[in-house]
Structure 1
Amino acid sequence: MNGTVRRGLITMLAAIAATVLAGCQGDGDNDAQANSGGSIDVAIVANPQAQDLARLTPSLFTAQSHIDVNYTILDEGTLREVVTSGEGTEDRRYDVVMIGPYEAPQFGRDGYITDLTPMASSDKAYALDDIIPSVRNALSYQGRLYAAPFYGESSFLMYRKDVLAAAGIEMPEHPTWRQVADIARRIDTPERAGICLRGKPGWGELGGSFGTVLNTFGGTWWSAKPDGSVDNAMVDQPEFRKALQFYVDLVRDAGESHPARAGYNQCLELYLSGKVAMWYDATVAAGLLEADNSDVKGKNGYAAAPVVLTRASGWLWSWALAIPTTSSKPDLAWRYIAWAAGPQYIKEAGPRIAGGWAAIPPGTRRSTYEIPEYQKAASAFAASTLAAIESAPVDNPGTTKRPGLPAAVAYVGIPEYRDVGNQCTTQFAAVIAGRSSIEAALANCQEIASRVGR
C-alpha cells in the first residue's frame, strides 16, 4: 500500500477539530483515570446502532470495566474520508476505529491495524466461531481477522405493503430492476415518492447503491489483468452507461426530493416519516423500520436486491471495530471491542435501546438469531436479512472479472477506488441534480478512472 493509505490511517488517529464527543469521558485528572482503569479514544459512524452503543457504554461497559471511552462520532462520508485521506496530524491517536471490509483487508495486509485473531481466539466470551462466516471473511486477510464486526448487512428492497396493496400491486420476492422501476413510477405522488435511492456523493454513499446496480447491468469500473491487477477503465462502455442512465432516470422520475443530497440517513428519515414508499438500501435499516418507536412498524415488506443480468446483487458490508497498530493501549482496546462487538452487548442492549430488540445490531452472529426476544421482534425481516447476507455475490459480483481483493460487491477492492469513487459520484450526483449531462459525467469519469492503470 502506498503512502497515501499509510497517511490515511494516521489521519484516523489524528485530532479532528469538529469532533462530536459522546459516551463516558474522563475528567482530565490523570490520577482519577488511573484509578478508574484508564481511558481509550474511539471513532465510530453516526448511524443509529452506533449511537446507541455510545449512549449505553457508560452504564454497560465503563461501570463494570472502569475504562472510560471517549467517542468521536462522524457521519458516514466524513468517517470514510478521515479513514483514507492523506491529511492530518498525529496530535491525537485513536485506540479503536470503525472501518469496513474495504479497509480491513488492505490495512491488515500492510500492517496498519492489529491482527485480532490471537485475542479473539483466546477470549471465550467473544465467541469467535459464532460470527457469520461471510462477514468474518470480509474483514479478514489470509484467514486472519483484522476488524470485529459490530453489525453486518447486505442490501435489499424495503417497501410499504399497504401502499402497494392500495394500488393493486404485488411485489415479487425476487424482483428485477425493471419491475421495481415500473412500480415506483406507478405509486409516485407529490406527497410520497415512489422510491428512495442514494444520490449523495461518496464512494460509500451513491457509490454503494449504484455499484450494485452497475454490477447487475453487466458493467464494471475496470477490467482485470490475469494477475488481478487493474487493466482498462470501463466507464465509457455501454453497460456502464445503461446502468447510470437507468439510475438517474428512476430517481428523477420517482425518487425523493433533493436526491443529490440523500444518503442512508436521509432516506431512513424519509421512509420513517412516510414520504417514500420504497427504499433500496442496507438490510440493517429493517430493524429501525420495525422498532418499537417506528411509525411504520408492521407496514413493511422486504424483497431481495433487484437484478438484471445476475442472480443476486446485494452488497456485503460491516461496520467493524479495529485497533490501529499505533495505539498504545491495545489491551484496553480489545476489552472494549470484545464487549461492544461480542454477544454480551447484544443481550444487554436489547431491553435498553429505544427501538427495542428489533433495533439491535444485526447480521454478525448466528446466536443473535436464536434469542427468543429477537426472533419475535425481527420476525418480519430476520430471515430476509440472513438470506441477503449469505447470497451476496462476493466471489462473482457481476458478469466480468474485476481487479482487487475479494468480497468487494458495491466497491472495488483497490486503494485507488476511494478517490475514483468519490470524484465520479460527484459527477453522477451533478447529473441527478440536473447540473450536468450523462455524456459529460461519463467522459470525465473515464478519464479519472484511466489514471489508475497509468
Structure 2
Amino acid sequence: MSFRTSLGLASALAVAASMAAHAQTPSGTITIATVNNGDMIRMQGLTSEFNAQYPDIKVEWVTLEENVLRSRVTQDVATKGGQFDVMTIGTYEVPIWGENGWLVSLNDLPAEWDADDILPAIRSGLTVDGELYAAPFYAESSMVMYRTDLMEAAGLTMPEAPTWEFIREAAEAMTEGDVYGICLRGKAGWGENMALLSAMGNSFGARWFDEDWQAQFDTEQWANTINFYMDLMTNYGPPGAANNGFNENLSLFQQGKCGMWIDATVAASFVTNPNDSTVADKVGFALAPDNGLGKRGNWLWAWSLAVPAGSQQTEAAKAFVAWATSKEYTALVAEKEGWANVPPGTRQSLYDNAEYTSAASFADMTLRSINSADPTQPTVDPVPYTGVQFVAIPEFAGFATEVGQEFANALAGQQSAEQALERAQAVTTDAMEAAGY
C-alpha cells in the first residue's frame, strides 16, 4: 500500500469515526413534563449542567401542579400525542402504562448508570416482564415529622414507632394559638388525600376491596379510619385543611404552624433546610403510626422519569433520563446544595455513603420507612390487588379521585363522614361494575 493510499484510508476512517460519533450523540428538542415540587424545580435549575454534556439537546420544561400533571400526561400518553418526550410519573402509572406499550423500555441505559444499585423495592415497581419502564428520580415512603421543642414542652416523648392514639394525644397537647397539633392532607385527589387515607386505612384494618373485588367503604374499619381522621383535623388541624395538599402543608410546617406532619419522607430535606424552614433545627422523625394490627400507615412511591412511546426524540430523552437519575447527578446536587438535599430513596449507594448519612438526620428513618412498606401485602386482611396507597388497576385513578372529593367535602363541612362513606361505597361499586370486575 502506498503512503498516499494509506493516508487517504486513515483520513477516511477518521471522517467515518467522526460521523459515527456525531450520529451517536443525541440531538433535538425535548419537552419535559414535571411536578412543581422542590426536587423537580431544582432539576430544572440544573439544565445548564446537562447542556454542558449534551449541547445539541434543547430542553423545554412544562412544570405543573400534581393533579394537573397527572391529567395532562395521562391524556398525552394514552393517545401517543407526542406532546412530551420525558414524563414525570409515579409507581402507580408505570406498570400499567408499560404493559399497555405506552412507554419506551429503559433496559438499554448505559452500564455506568448501574441499574443494580436501585433499591429492589423501588426497581420492582417500575419493571414489567423484565423491562424497566421508568428511572426513579426520587423515592419515598411516609413518616411522622414533628417539632421536638413542642413535643418536649408538652412533656411527651415521640416513640420511633408511634401509635395513632399517641399521635392524637400529642396533637391535642401541641395545639395552642396559631400552632396546630397536626397537619394532614385534605386536598382531593387519588394521589393527594387518598394517598394518606388509603395508607392510614391499611393500619386500621381497612381495604379498598375484599378478595371478590367488592368495595369495602361500608365496613367498621373504614368508619374508624375516617372518623379518627376527621377528629384529628377538626380539633387539631389548620383551618381550610380541605384545600391543603403536600405543598400547602409543607409551607405550614416550614412556617412553624404544625406540631406534627405525616407525609412523604422526601419532605425531610425541606423542613430541615435553614434557608427555607424557620424550624429547621427543631425537627424529629418517626415511623408512620399503627394500631397494633401489623400494618403501619405509610406508603411507597417513586417519582420517576419515563419516555412515552409517542416521543419522536427517544434517544435525546433517554440521555436526559439517564443524566437526571444518575449517581453523578446526586453528586452534583450535593456539591451545589449539600448532601442533605440530594434526591433520596432510590439508590443503595446513597445510604452506604457516610457523607450523606451524617448530613441527613432523616436518612435512616427514610430507608426504614421505604423498606417497611409492602405493595404485595398492603393490608391486614387479604386483597386481590397490589399497591399500598393505591390499587394497581387502570380504573383506580378515576374512581379514587371521586372518592377523595367526597372525603374532602366532609372535611370542609359539606357533608358528614357517614355520608362521605356511603357515597364512596356507591362510587366505587358503580365504577367496578362498569369495568366488569
Match of 1:299 among 282, 299, 317: 282
- Whole-angstrom CA distance in 1 between matches of 2:80 and 2:310: 10
Structure 2 residue corresponding to 1:348, chosen from 328, 332, 336: 332
Q: 2:258 aligns with which of 262, 276, 279?
A: 276
**Structure 1 residue corresponding to 2:121, chosen from 126, 129, 134:** 134
Asked whether the 8 Å contact 2:295–2:379 carries over to 1, the reply is: no
Q: Distance in 2 between matches of 1:92 and 1:217?
A: 43
CA distance in structure 1 between the partners assigned to 2:149 and 2:157 by the alignment = 10
1:76 — aligned with what? 66
Q: Which residue does the alignment assign to 1:447?
A: 426
Q: What is the CA-CA distance between 1:142 and the residue it aligns to?
A: 2.6
Give the deviation of 1:89 after TM superposition. Answer: 7.7
| Match of residue 411 from structure 1 | 390
State how many pairs are aligned. Answer: 406
- What residue identity is the alignment partner of 2:136? P
1:431 to 397, 410, 421: 410
Q: Does 1:111 align with 2:94?
A: no
Tell whether 2:281 aligns with 1:327: no
The alpha-carbon deviation at position 452 of structure 1 amounts to 2.9
Q: Helix, strand or coil: the match of 2:318?
A: helix
* Distance across 2 between alignment mates of 1:412 and 1:84: 17
Aligned partners of 1:411 and 1:310: how far apart in 2? 19
In 2, the alpha carbon distance for the partners of 1:90 and 1:129 equals 30
Alignment check: 8 A CA contact 1:219 1:239 kept? yes
Select between 380-389 and 295-304 the one with higher mean Cα deviation. 295-304
How big is the shift at 1:109?
A: 0.8
What secondary structure, in the 3-state scheme, does the structure 2 residue paired with 1:151 have?
strand
1:369 Cα deviation from its structure 2 partner: 2.4
In the other structure, the counterpart of 1:287 is 269
1:245 counterpart residue number: 227
Measured against aligned partners, the alpha-carbon deviations of 1:279-315 in whole angstroms (never above 9, x if no partner) come to: 0000001111222423222311111010112243321
TM-score by length of 2: 0.89
Partner-residue secondary structure (3-state), 2:138:
strand
- Residues in 1 aligned to 2:93 and 2:77: alpha-carbon distance in whole angstroms: 17
**How many Å separate the matches in 2 of 1:418 and 1:254?**
30
Q: Does residue 158 of the first structure (1) align with residue 145 of the second (2)? A: yes
Corresponding residue for residue 16 of structure 2: none
| C-alpha displacement of 1:110 | 1.1
Instruction: Answer whether contact 2:143 2:265 (CA < 8 A) is retained.
Output: yes
1:219 to 181, 184, 206: 206
Whether 1:204 and 2:186 are equivalent positions in the alignment is no
The range that moved more, 130-139 or 90-99, is: 90-99
Report if the CA contact (8 A) 2:32-2:60 is conserved. yes
User: Which of 43, 46, 59 lines up with 1:53 in the alignment?
Assistant: 43
Q: Is the 8 A contact 1:403 1:413 kept in 2?
A: no
**Alpha-carbon distance, 1:162 to partner:** 0.9
Deviation at 1:340, TM superposition (A): 0.2
TM (norm. structure 1) is 0.86
Q: Which ranges in structure 1 are unaligned for 5 or more consecutive residues?
A: 1-34, 226-230
SS of 1:352's partner is helix
Structure 1, residues 197-236: CA drift from partner, whole Å, max 9, x if none? 00000000000111111111111121123xxxxx211111
Q: Is the 8 A contact 2:82 2:310 kept in 1?
A: no
Q: Which residue of the partner structure matches residue 393 of structure 1?
A: 374
Paired position in structure 2 for 1:29: none
List 4+ stretches of structure 1 deviating above 3 A.
83-92, 370-373
The whole-number CA distance in structure 1 between the counterparts of 2:80 and 2:199 is: 36
| Matches of 2:71 and 2:58, distance apart in 1 | 26
Which residue of the partner structure matches residue 65 of structure 1? Answer: 54
Q: Which position in structure 1 is the counterpart of 2:132?
A: 145
Residue aligned with 1:335, SS: helix
For the 8 Å contact 2:202–2:296, the answer to whether it is kept is no
Structure-2 residue corresponding to 1:19: none
The offset of 1:81, in angstroms, is: 2.4
Percent identical residues = 38
Q: Distance in 2 between matches of 1:413 and 1:103?
A: 8
Q: Between Structure 1 and Structure 2, whose CA radius of gyration is higher?
A: 2
Deviations 1:422-447 (A, max 9, x none): 11111101111111111221111111
Which amino acid in 2 is paired with 1:52? Answer: R
Give the Å deviation of 1:87: 11
Deviation at 1:90, TM superposition (A): 7.0
